[in-house]
Amino acid sequence: MKKLFITLIFLLSANYFFAQGGMWLPNTIKGSIEKDMQRLGMKLTADDIYNTEKSSIKDAIVQFGGGCTGEVISPKGLLLTNHHCGYGAIQRLSTMENNLLKNGFWAQSFEEELPAKGLTVTFIDRIEDVTGKILGNINNDLPLNERQSLIDKNIDSLSKTTQIEDYQTVEIKPFYYGNKYYLFVKNIFKDIRLVGVAPESIGKFGADTDNWMWPRHNADFSIFRIYADKNNLPAEYSEENVPYTPKHFLPISVKEINEDDFTLVFGFPGRTQEYLPAIAVDQIANKLDPVRISIREAALNVMGKYMRNDEATRLKYASKFAGIANYWKKWIGESQGINSVHAVEKKKEFEKEFLHRLDKNPEAKAKYGHLLADFDSLYAAFEPYNIAQNAIYESFFRSIDFMRVMSYLNRLKNYYINNGAAGYDGFKARLLPYLKGMYKGMDISIDKDVFAALVKKYALESKPEFVPGSIKALKTDREFKEFANKIYNSKFTDYDSLVSIIDTTDIDWAISVFEQEPGFEFAKEINEISDTKVSPNYNELSAKINDLQKEYMKALMEMFPEKSFFPDANSTLRITYGQVKGYHPRDAVYYEPVSHIEGVIEKYKPGDYEFDLPQKFLDIYKSKDFGNYTDKTGSVPACFIATNHTTGGNSGSPALDAEGNLIGLNFDRVWEGTMSDLYYDPSICRNIMVDVRYILFLIDKYGNAKRLIDEMEIKK
Ligand code: ARG
Ligand code: ASP
């Protein structure tokens, strides 16, 4: 009976598994994917989405900074992205007297738009399948490293010989674990200016408490503008630059959105691992995630204690805390989600079916029969190194600023050893501004307490061979505190003193000062353990696993010819599509797909750091001055959810309707579906978007920036 039940679940989910979810390269959707999109209601064709002969929707999509997405929403290069994506740039433009994050900012003219130095946005000019050129001369019988170096050589020479304009760059990336290669020609714009943003109490409303959760009520958006030179080409910042005229911009629809409506999300998803064997998913969700979660929790506990006791500390640590908390919470959701949908069991059932198909095909079995058993033994060998590699990073570097400083000093020293004074000075010039910001955001006594807590945890919970000698004998809180005191008794606990040592022409002297630092020694000790006992094994086994995964991917595609396989996300341009849909997170509970401004007011908590609101917002709400940004309920829709398969990097991605109009701005996923990076389950995986009407409402009524709305093409 039980077996029958599991098989039934498997059959149902297997169908689902491949019928929904997925993130596709836009140049590969013509045909079956296009048809499936049209079946769900899309009125566009593949050519409307991606075309290199004429303008298409892809010409409105950019990679924003390193890790987010943005989209052009006016003929004058107006750019929309998330609040949390613009955050760093806005923070850098803020001062104590003029805190743009806190107060919001609305440029009332082009002249008032603020250059965000260092920020870039990247358009994809074209995508080419170059698999033949990269793999054509590769003999699969060669050893792994020889094969890889030949591939690298091919990539290098093709990158250099590809015809591009002088403002363009080329990137070639592996897909399907190296079974395919695609080339991307990119246009990178470098003069990006801040145009508008609501106060963070509105943009980040709900902060960490609401993060990764539905229902949601934050207006996670910020507005920038792309500037170009007088030929409309990318250029460094200059007063002479003018607003960029895009090849395409997204019209905006304020029409009704209904459950089951088609949606399309276009952006740059960072990383997924949808084709791992069951044993790998089990290792991540049940071994690795718990370790990473508990280390971050220990760091958050210390920081949280200080933040609760002191308002200035809370402000100073808010962003650091949020950064650590984001994936802490994600991993909890992921680990729970994998177990609650029985993803490991379902993957095992799927693997049984794979073996069953091999049994019927002796030739395939000879090729692929070894795969799953090899995975088992490789992952078993990999586990301790996988955990140690992550634990070292999380325990010593991720959350401890002072240790990061120490490892930067080590890199500085290496630059000197390898490239002489020029190497040292070059790295120093990049390092100092970065460290200046870092020290500004650090409280050395909190940092020391986090250090003591994490070092203790690491020393007591790790395999003895991975524990540095200097902390092996320590046991009690007091001993770890004393150790921390020793490390933090340092010349590098404040920025000015650091500069007085680093910023010198007597580099040998500076390095001798580094070397007298107990923290520098400790970082070296950790790196030595990592370099001798962890990384070599980790790297070797990862390479073998990857190679096996490449073969497995190929095998899956051969053995399941009836399925379409999308390539895992790798920070390249993708589309994902689905429908507006609520979901049942658990028995007797149903979540509706749309939230409203009433919910913002319901959650409002005066004085609370996550749920407070500006008086102006409350006043507008009271006056019910909603303009025509309402839906059929008469209220302003805030956020909505749909079945689009998204991941980190999709933040800021546009959600489009069946005709290609902007209806929402992607920014997150729901709690029960955070495991979608490993296993997408269409019954509970949902992406979360801000409704574009909430964005327009805030621009117009809160920001009084009607001039921006006048630039846009609004479809009523
Ligand atoms: N969870 C979303 C994403 O991963 C939003 C993160 C915004 N940061 C935060 N700590 N609330 O990026
Ligand atoms: N919040 C994520 C981002 O910043 C999106 C996600 O993980 O769903 O890209």
Q: Which domain holds residue 326?
A: 278-557
Q: How far is the CA of 258 from the centre of ligand 1 (A)?
A: 26
Residue at 38 is within a domain: no
**Confidence (pLDDT) at 95:** 81
Residue at 599 is within a domain: no
Q: What are phi and psi of 650, to 5 degrees?
A: -80, -5
* Inter-residue contact 702 to 616 (CB < 8 Å): yes
* Inter-residue contact 651 to 667 (CB < 8 Å): yes
From 220, 254, 288, the end of a domain falls on 254
**Confidence (pLDDT) at 8:** 46
> Is a pLDDT exceeding 50 seen at residue 593?
yes
Pairwise CA distance, residues 243 & 235, whole Å: 12
> Is a pLDDT exceeding 50 seen at residue 683?
yes
Pairwise CA distance, residues 25 & 679, whole Å: 19
231 shares its domain with 288: no
Ligand 2 pocket at CB < 6 A: 646-651, 667-669
230 shares its domain with 328: no
Q: How far is the CA of 14 from the centre of ligand 1 (A)?
A: 30
**Confidence (pLDDT) at 10:** 45
**Confidence (pLDDT) at 7:** 46
235 shares its domain with 285: no
Closest to 89 in 3D by CA, of 652, 706, 707, 664: 652
Q: How far is the CA of 201 from the centre of ligand 2 (A)?
A: 19
Pairwise CA distance, residues 21 & 688, whole Å: 15
pLDDT in tens, 102-159: 999 999 999 999 999 999 999 999 999 999 999 999 998 999 899 999 999 999 999 9
Q: Which of 220, 282, 691, 700 is catalytic?
A: 220
Residue at 549 is within a domain: yes
Ligand 2, atom nearest to 67 Cα: 9
Pairwise CA distance, residues 246 & 248, whole Å: 5
> Is a pLDDT exceeding 60 seen at residue 509?
yes
463 shares its domain with 548: yes
Q: How far is the CA of 443 from the centre of ligand 2 (A)?
A: 28
pLDDT in tens, 273-326: 999 999 999 999 999 999 999 999 999 999 999 999 988 888 788 889 999 999
288 shares its domain with 223: no
* Inter-residue contact 384 to 310 (CB < 8 Å): no
Residue at 19 is within a domain: no
H-type helices in 194-288, by residue range?
A: 200-203, 207-210, 278-283
Helix, strand, or coil (residue 415): helix
Average pLDDT of the residues of the chain: 95
Pairwise CA distance, residues 245 & 442, whole Å: 42
> Is a pLDDT exceeding 70 seen at residue 9?
no
Helix, strand, or coil (residue 589): strand
The pick from 271, 668, 676, 688 for probing ligand 1's pocket by mutation, whose C-beta has the most ligand atoms within 8 angstroms, reads 668
High-pLDDT (> 90) share of the chain, %: 93
Ligand 1 pocket at CB < 6 A: 84, 207-208, 211-212, 322, 325-326, 648, 651, 667-668
pLDDT higher at 314 or 162: 162
Residue at 369 is within a domain: yes
Judge whether 220 counts as a catalytic residue: yes
Residue whose CA is closest, atom 2 of ligand 2? 648
**Confidence (pLDDT) at 35:** 96
Q: How far is the CA of 652 from the centre of ligand 2 (A)?
A: 8
Residues 224-229: what's their mean pLDDT?
A: 98
172 shares its domain with 103: yes
**Confidence (pLDDT) at 97:** 87
* Inter-residue contact 69 to 63 (CB < 8 Å): yes
Residues 29-38: what's their mean pLDDT?
A: 96
Residue at 3 is within a domain: no
pLDDT in tens, 492-504: 999 999 999 999 9
**Confidence (pLDDT) at 609:** 86
Residue at 287 is within a domain: yes
From 557, 591, 626, the end of a domain falls on 557
* Inter-residue contact 413 to 511 (CB < 8 Å): yes
pLDDT in tens, 636-677: 999 999 999 999 999 999 999 999 999 999 999 999 999 999
- At CA 269, angle to CA 175 and CA 560, rounded to 5? 45
Residue whose CA is closest, atom 10 of ligand 1? 322
Map tokens 């246009």 to a residue.
187
| Nearest ligand to the CA atom of 63 | 2
pLDDT in tens, 49-92: 999 999 999 999 999 998 999 999 999 999 999 999 999 899 88
Residue whose CA is closest, atom 5 of ligand 2? 648
Among 84-98, 365-379, 407-421, the range scoring the smallest mean pLDDT is 84-98
Judge whether 477 counts as a catalytic residue: no
**Confidence (pLDDT) at 15:** 39
Q: Which of 201, 335, 530, 651 is catalytic?
A: 651
160 shares its domain with 297: no
Task: Give the number of domains in the chain.
Answer: 2
Map tokens 């045909």 to a residue.
31
Number of H helices, E strands in the chain: 27, 22
Ligand 2, atom nearest to 651 Cα: 9
Ligand 1, atom nearest to 208 Cα: 11
**Confidence (pLDDT) at 312:** 84
DSSP label at 192? E
Residue at 706 is within a domain: no
Pairwise CA distance, residues 149 & 136, whole Å: 14
Pairing between β-strand 714-715 and β-strand 252-253 as defined by DSSP bridges: parallel
Pairwise CA distance, residues 272 & 266, whole Å: 16
Pairwise CA distance, residues 533 & 360, whole Å: 43
195 shares its domain with 125: yes
344 shares its domain with 250: no
> Can you say whether the dihedral through the CA atoms of 530, 536, 541, 542 is positive or negative?
positive
Look at phi and psi of residue 546 and say left if phi exceeds 0, alpha if psi is from -120 to 50, else beta: alpha
**Confidence (pLDDT) at 14:** 41
290 shares its domain with 230: no
> Is a pLDDT exceeding 60 seen at residue 3?
no
Q: Which of 83, 84, 217, 248 is catalytic?
A: 84
130 shares its domain with 211: yes
Please report the DSSP string for 632-684 in residue order. TTSS-EEEEEE-----TT-TTPEEE-TTS-EEEEEEEE-GGGGGGGT---TTT
469 shares its domain with 536: yes
DSSP β-bridge partners for residue 583: 591
Map tokens 């198909």 to a residue.
357
The pick from 641, 669, 689 for probing ligand 2's pocket by mutation, whose C-beta has the most ligand atoms within 8 angstroms, reads 669
Q: How far is the CA of 85 from the centre of ligand 1 (A)?
A: 9
Pairwise CA distance, residues 472 & 470, whole Å: 6
Helix, strand, or coil (residue 170): strand
**Confidence (pLDDT) at 92:** 84
